[in-house]
Amino acid sequence: MADFLTLDDLELEGKRVFVRVDANTPVDPTSGRLLELNRIKEAAVTVRALNKSAVVVASHQGRVGRYDYISLRQHSEALSKILDRPVKFVEDVFGEAARNAIDRLGEGEILMLENLRFAAEENHEYTFEDAAKTHIVSCLAPHLDACVLDAFPTAHRAHPSIVGFAEILPTCAGLLVTRELKSLSRIITTSKAPYTAVLGGSKISDRLEAIDALIENGKADNVLLTGLIALVFLRAAGILKHSLDPQAEKYVPKAAELLSRYRENFQLPLDLAILEDGERFEVEPSKINNNSPILDIGEKTISKYSRIIKSSGTVFMSGPPGAFERKGFEKGTHELLMATATSLGTTIVSGGHLTAAMESLGVKEWVDHVSTAGGALVMFLAGERLPLIEALKRAAGRMGR
């Protein structure tokens, strides 16, 4: 914690401050509306603390080509309601419109830039030095006085907005990053084996990266697979016979490699819940055909995984086991969350979807640490270096701290 600066270390009153948050929010694929506001609420804490600065809020949303790759206009409106203050919005990232809007910003005013990933550079990772030379940074930095990094869920990505501004501007950690690191550092010092990771959701590449890091660093004695990542591993093990969609299928070779290296660490679903004639049916993975949507894990899997969770010294759960927002397919998510919440071990739950599910169950306060971060939290727990944290340290060092 002493290796980087916090809001208390910089004089930000009256300054134009670039605040990199992570307001990346689940989106309804049909309506395009935001499904929940957890990350925007978290972002609001630091923005509220900078009430005597001219605040420029920046975030990404979704991934190129996906249904959630949308404008941040809704996010600016949501942030305005949460803060009960006007939040201006500009349909630009680093062009003339964005720069002019920043220059016109007065003390106590807030501006949100358009989705950072609408700028091509923000979809790639860079060295710290090269990130500082990108168009985003070189165009915006002259119009800014300081940078606050508060995007903990994106801390594992060396994008220009995460590491580039910190090379040029006085930079400190926001309140969310400070809280996360303080809490996680405390938990890590008291955690004990056996370590169990319950991984689900749909972000396969992040999950594969996480599994490798967790097992390699001795932080996952048991890896309980659910969600889309479980289907990839079931394909790799030759249990699930039919092909997945091409985006998921391309990860099967990597899953096969991980299985060959760490087979004793993995637990694969014994049964899955499919949608058939509008009803939930539970079947063995080997008996599922191509036409059956797989939306949850089955009862046998839930029972087995729950026993492992309750006998663990430390439990980390990231990503929902199934489509819990669909009636009849919330069982896996709810029951594994309850097993985690009532476990006597140290418990950590991450991701916006699981946070929302815990709130609906009323057990959020039962877990030792709850974070909206996913991949970044995994990499931190595995002992990996996070670019955002390294950027903060470099900035502190440059200022002689």
Give the tens place of pLDDT for each residue, 146-185: 999 999 999 999 999 999 999 999 999 999 999 999 888 8
Residues 6+ positions from 2 with CB-CB distance below 8 Å:
none
To 5 degrees, how large is the angle CA 110–CA 114–CA 115? Answer: 125
pLDDT value of residue 150: 98
Whole-number Å distance between alpha carbons of 364 and 223: 22
- C-alpha 382: how far from chain center: 15
Average pLDDT over residues 188-200: 90
Is 70 exceeded by the pLDDT of residue 263?
yes
Average pLDDT over residues 189-218: 87
Is 80 exceeded by the pLDDT of residue 290?
no
The model's confidence at residue 2, banded by pLDDT at 50, 70 and 90, is low
Q: % helix / strand / coil in the chain, to the nearest 5?
A: 45, 15, 40
Is 60 exceeded by the pLDDT of residue 94?
yes
Convert 342-379 to b/e letters by CB count within 10 Å (16 or more is b): ebebbbbbbbbbbbbbbeeeebbebbbbbbbbbbbbbb
Is 218 in a helix, a strand, or coil?
A: coil
Is 70 exceeded by the pLDDT of residue 26?
yes
The model's confidence at residue 16, banded by pLDDT at 50, 70 and 90, is very high
Domains and CATH numbers, the chain: 7-179+385-398 (3.40.50.1260), 193-344 (3.40.50.1260)
pLDDT value of residue 213: 85
Q: Mean pLDDT of all residues in the chain? A: 93
Is 90 exceeded by the pLDDT of residue 144?
yes
Average pLDDT over residues 97-113: 98
The model's confidence at residue 188, banded by pLDDT at 50, 70 and 90, is confident
Tokens at residue 125, please? 């990772």
Q: Which region, left, alpha or beta, applies to residue 362 given φ > 0 means left and ψ of -120 to 50 means alpha?
A: left
The model's confidence at residue 330, banded by pLDDT at 50, 70 and 90, is very high
Average pLDDT over residues 48-71: 96
Is 70 exceeded by the pLDDT of residue 1?
no
Q: Strand locations in 119-263, DSSP E? A: 146-149, 171-173, 195-199, 222-225
